[in-house]
Structure 1
């Protein structure tokens, strides 16, 4: 189907050719000291800077539930108002003794959950059946290839329920899928003007129109040929054709799986990195949350290019708080305070702690002067629309104090 035309279902297919940005496909190899080989250099991409259609929202029933905490509050609100937001719902199986099954990472998650209805349980009048709506999004939650419903271990007693802050939301006996909605068709990705080599060239010369490349890295490049960011993906070539007869260049139509990383907001972030790592601070400030997330990935991918010798203990750093309007903005401002424009210093408490342990430009103890701190105090914390939890200003201060960082509010 030609790009830029309407789809058969009547929805316009968004076609976003990527000017000024080239792309590279690389694959791992065990030959020699170089762990990667270039499989293709591509002049541009069509369908890279797009928002993938949201996953379907299915209906589930938490049967024989004893809700606590935020789940109990949302259930009460749903009974009064018809529905209520809940955010991330995590389900962890309980063994025959009522203890969470190990390993602890073996969990099942729903994102963007809303409570739709509550009714008394048929089996036990002291319990309730709670109907919820949510997305089974393993990529967003970091849990790969989740089943439709949580797996049931032998002789299990039910499930422990909790949210993103790991506070208990009670328990339920069973999670049932009661209304499965169809998933949207993926938006195809085309890489244009590709110069193939390695195993990609071998696959093309085999004459097959469709084939799998397996796990590869797909990278948008700046003008110097440095990767702006890298994505590990499972690549399936749906079709291919010659870009111009006789040139050896090909156009690839791809089915991208494993992690559909694409966002329209990444375009502006990548354009800001197109000349190489930035030399001015706060260029990310104009971006929305999704664009800031793309900037953060670029900063992390270019960490080695920004590394400087660790400063001695006792140094003072200045955190520009004027644009800390979301948690991503906090991590970007912190990265630039520690390592200059385009710098990286973690994206959450866990990765910030990792950077503190490994140095990454600093040595503890040190002083952090937080300018215009009132903006973060106002903006950070729980989202009242989704109940998703982001660190509050006070929690960030507590984290710094626990890690030998003196914060001066300015």
Structure 2
């Protein structure tokens, strides 16, 4: 599979910076984030935290899920704005001990990884920050359910952060500002913001990702002096996953011509398929849709929220079609008529599969919509759903 680096120009369309014959470590799973141990001191546990603490005392440890910590000001109120929110994901309770000075509270040892995304920031500190004369912390679960309070959060043990896996693009034909940088003779340089992604056999982009590229090293390729091998440091690399390979291979011959080619993919692979469908949606739009039409939704493979969005996309826009991947983007497609013009009727075949499968995934930060929530959404947006 070939790959392309492209970038925007100040006064013209996007330019190709490199066409690359092969990539190493493009489809690689990111190493899991480091997990650290913290102590919630003088903790008055409530709700799920109290339940997990009791289970840990009995079993040695207990799964907790997402833990959110809010600093309290001098009046005992959560600090606003929410820049003092601090989050752990995939947390576990490891130990519970009586409080040192107060037998009514406990010291709880938890292990987890910092969750900057849930906190809405680029990076979280090792321990939560506190305002002057603070009164401790309020503890919450994933959905802001109260889990009690504690006086202090202390870092007890730290794991080293995993080393990133370098991305290599091989046998690249450089041009534009990449060629100019190579000709300058520097071994390392910043390429700046660019788009990076795989190509199908016809040269069409399967999907692209904006990122900042730093060339860590380069050398002339064995294919000849006109080609180079690049080792890159990529600032945003969420797209690099083994699951994406399976999705991209299904697109490698070009956009799909048969429905449900995505059915055997797992949730991560379906997310990669959705990105490819969205990236190619503009080139695949059909004629202007008419109102009061009837569409048939194939529900045989709607076993998760990704399956719902992919099946809906193909219902509205044919194989490989896109019609949003969440309520917000589906609403946008409905408003803009990208495949369907309201009012229309949606016949949902084999709906019992989605009814049984869709909904909340335990102990995760994001909850997928339930079957009932999807029906309510369509009713609010003048889409008549018939269950078959």
Q: CA deviation at 1:147?
A: 2.4
- Cα distance, 1:295 vs structure 2: 0.7
CA displacement at 1:24 relative to structure 2: 0.9
- 1:99: Cα distance to partner? 4.5
**Unaligned regions of 5+ residues in structure 1, if any?**
1-20
After alignment, is 301-310 or 383-392 more displaced?
A: 383-392
Residues 15-46 of structure 1 show CA distances to partners (whole Å, capped at 9, x for unaligned) of: xxxxxx211112233x2142x33221111101
**Structure 1, residues 208-266: CA drift from partner, whole Å, max 9, x if none?**
21222232211111123222111222222221110137531100012223334311121
Secondary structure of the residue aligned to 1:350 is: helix
TM value normalised by structure 2 = 0.88
Q: Deviations over 1:182-214 (max 9, x none)?
A: 122222211001111222222212222122223
Deviates more, 1:36-45 or 1:300-309: 300-309
Is residue 282 of structure 2 the alignment partner of residue 300 of structure 1?
Answer: no
1:293 and 1:181 map into 2 onto residues whose CA distance is: 30
Q: Which residue of 2 aligns with 1:284?
A: 262
Give the aligned CA root-mean-square deviation in angstroms: 2.8
Aligned-pair CA distance for 1:125? 4.2
DSSP-derived class of the 1:266 partner? helix
More off after superposition, 266-275 vs 77-86: 77-86
1:10-409 paired onto structure 2 within 5 Å? 21-29=1-9, 31-34=10-13, 36-104=14-82, 107-122=85-100, 124-138=102-116, 143-244=121-222, 246-308=224-286, 311-384=289-362, 389-409=367-387
The 1:86–1:352 alpha-carbon spacing in structure 2 relative to 1, beyond 3 Å, is farther
Which residue is 1:11 aligned to?
none
Compared CA separation, residues 174 and 315, structure 1 to 2 (3 A) = farther
Deviates more, 1:251-260 or 1:346-355: 346-355
Paired with 2:237 and 2:196, the residues of 1 have a C-alpha distance of 12
Q: CA deviation at 1:48?
A: 1.0
SS at 1:117's partner residue? strand
State the SS of the aligned residue for 2:249: helix
Unaligned runs of 5+ in 2: none
8 A Cα contact 2:86 2:119, kept in partner: no
Distance 1:164 1:355 in 2: 29
Mark the CA change 1:147 to 1:207 in structure 2 (over 3 Å): closer, same or farther: same
Comparing 98-107 and 281-290, the one that deviates more? 98-107
Query: How far apart, in 1, do the equivalents of 2:290 and 2:366 lie?
Result: 38
Q: TM-score normalised to the size of structure 1? A: 0.84
3-state DSSP class of the match of 1:216?
A: strand
CA distance, structure 1, for counterparts of residue 88 and residue 350 of structure 2 = 36
How many residues are paired up?
A: 388
Contact 1:63–1:130, Cα closer than 8 Å, also in 2: yes
Q: How far did 1:273 drift?
A: 1.0
Could you say what secondary structure the match of 2:311 adopts? Answer: helix
Alpha-carbon spacing, 1:142–1:158, altered in 2? closer, same or farther (3 Å):
same
In the alignment, the residues of structure 2 paired with residue 312 and residue 158 of structure 1 have an alpha-carbon distance, to the nearest angstrom, of 59
Please state how far the C-alpha of 1:93 moved relative to its aligned partner.
3.8
**Any conservation in 2 of the 1:218–1:230 contact (CA below 8 Å)?**
yes
**Partners in 2 of 1:258 and 1:300 — Cα distance?**
19
